[in-house]
Structure 1
């Protein structure tokens, strides 16, 4: 049991999960507002041996050095790699601090977002960012049937998007670190990145945070009259060649501003950004809560 467990910011856990947290600690403190500075985070942690946080705050070495009692850090958000995390995991581990995050709790909402926006684009439903009426992508409405779609990053969410689009009749190819046997069994083609960009009309980037694969040469292979989705937490591209590309006869779709990377282009007619995380659904909060609690339970089982 923790002596003191502190949630340093709003955690987006369901109420029953917050109640369950009480059983893991002698003292539970859950802050409902965002800390204004690193000094405020240190103050909130104090002598706590357990800390919970979301993706909004950073626990760097400078903070961890001032909080020597921490034994466990629970990230109530996605953790894919130490490099992309908002916690200095390598330093924490060097001090014997266990850091646990979660994965795959908001993917279903992202899949629905991609399908929804792609259908609206192909059929010409709704309005563009500049307020003009959207016209069908190919003059007359089209189905997803027969659409050539390339997935960049075939992890959990990329795989789910691929499966959903295949169900609707799309032809799927993908680029990943290596060819995936399960994807090949489904009939998905593994292609080098530049070939993938050239051969597909729709490209969907499903990459880890701070992973950039689309540089100037990649945009040259992508070419014109293409639809580009980014479902990651940060841009999958270099800013300069992307700016040149989206101003062509193309369309780009991101749910969050973090994925788009530039608020100044929100009004461009080729840019479509909801400025809302489509993975933040009612069901996602339940899955998040269950995984956060499971991480703490497993931590104590190993003590």
Structure 2
């Protein structure tokens, strides 16, 4: 059992999961706002031996160094790699602090977002400010059937989006760090990135945070009259060529501002951004809570913690 567990910001646990935290720590403190700066973060952690945080706060080496009692850091958000994390994982591990994150808790909502926005675009289900119906992408309503769709990053989420699009009849090709036999078994064809961009009308980027693959050369291959979705946590492109690409007859879709990259793009008529995370659903919070509690149980069952 931990001596003191602190959630330094809202972490998305459902009420029953918050109550269960008291089974793992003698003292539990839950903050309901986001700390402003490293000094406040360190002050909130204080002498705690366990901390929980979401994706909106960064635990860097300076903060970790000030919190000498820490033994466990629980990330209540996606952890794909140390390089993309909002916790300095390598520094924490070097000082004997366990860091555990979660994955694949909000993917279903993101798949629904992509299908929803794509259908609205192809059919013209959007509404203009004056109440009239928006024009469909092709002038006439159109199905997903036969749409050439390219997935950039065929991980768990990218694979789920590909499966969803295929269900509706899209033709799927993908680019990833390596070819995937399981994708080939489904009929998905691997293409080099530039060829993928040229070949497809719809491109969906599903990449780890801070991974940028679309540079000036890639936008040249992408060309005009294209639909581009980004479902990652940060832009998948360099800003300058992206800005130029938006001047053409193209459209970009992002659920969150983080994925879009800059508020100035919200005013662009070719950008559709909901400014919210489509993965933050009721079901996602349940899955998040189960995974966060599971990580704590695993850590303590391994014989860790201040007071067993």
Give the TM-score, by structure 2 length: 0.96
In structure 2, list runs of 5 or more residues that go unmatched: 304-308
Aligned to 1:161: 161
Structure 1 Cα separation of the partners of residues 130 and 233 of structure 2 = 24
Contact 1:254 1:274 in 2 (8 A): yes
Question: Contact (CA 8 Å) 1:256, 1:274: kept in 2 or not?
Answer: yes
Counterpart of 2:222 in structure 1 is 222
Answer yes or no: is the 8 Å Cα contact 1:129–1:266 preserved in 2: no
Question: For the structure 1 residues 76 and 291, does the alpha-carbon distance in structure 2 shift closer, same or farther, using more than 3 Å as the test?
Answer: same
Structure 1 gap segments, 5+ residues each: none
Deviations 1:120-147 (A, max 9, x none): 1101111369998521111111100000
* 1:51-130 superposed matches below 5 A: 51-127=51-127
Find out whether 1:145 has 2:145 as its counterpart: yes
What is the correspondence of 1:1-303 to structure 2 with a 5 Å cutoff? 1-127=1-127, 133-303=133-303
Query: Which deviates further from its counterpart, 149-158 or 34-43?
Result: 34-43
**Counterpart-to-counterpart distance in 2, 1:36 and 1:23:** 29
In 2: Cα distance, 1:128 partner to 1:110 partner: 24
Per-residue deviation, 1:51: 0.5
- The Cα RMSD (Å) is 1.3
Q: Deviation above 4 Å: which 4+ runs of structure 1?
A: 128-133
Greater Cα shift, 124-133 or 36-45: 124-133
Separation in 2, partners of 1:149, 1:156: 17
**Residues 39 and 128 (structure 1 numbering): CA distance in 2 closer, same or farther, change over 3 Å?**
farther
Distance 1:266 1:194, change over 3 A: same
Secondary structure of 2:47's partner? Answer: coil
Deviation at 1:267, TM superposition (A): 2.1
Q: Distance in 2 between matches of 1:281 and 1:130?
A: 31
Work out the CA distance in 2 between the residues paired with 1:157 and 1:20. 29
Compute the TM-score of the two structures, normalised by the length of structure 1: 0.98
Contact 1:128 1:272 (8 Å CA) reproduced? no
Q: How many Å separate the matches in 1 of 2:240 and 2:127?
A: 27
**Who is 2:306 aligned against?**
none
Q: Deviations over 1:61-101 (max 9, x none)?
A: 01011001100000011111101111000000000100000
Q: In structure 2, the residue corresponding to 1:291 is in which secondary structure?
A: helix
Comparing 121-130 with 44-53, greater Cα deviation is found at 121-130
Alpha-carbon distance between aligned partners in 2 of 1:270 and 1:154, rounded to the nearest angstrom: 26
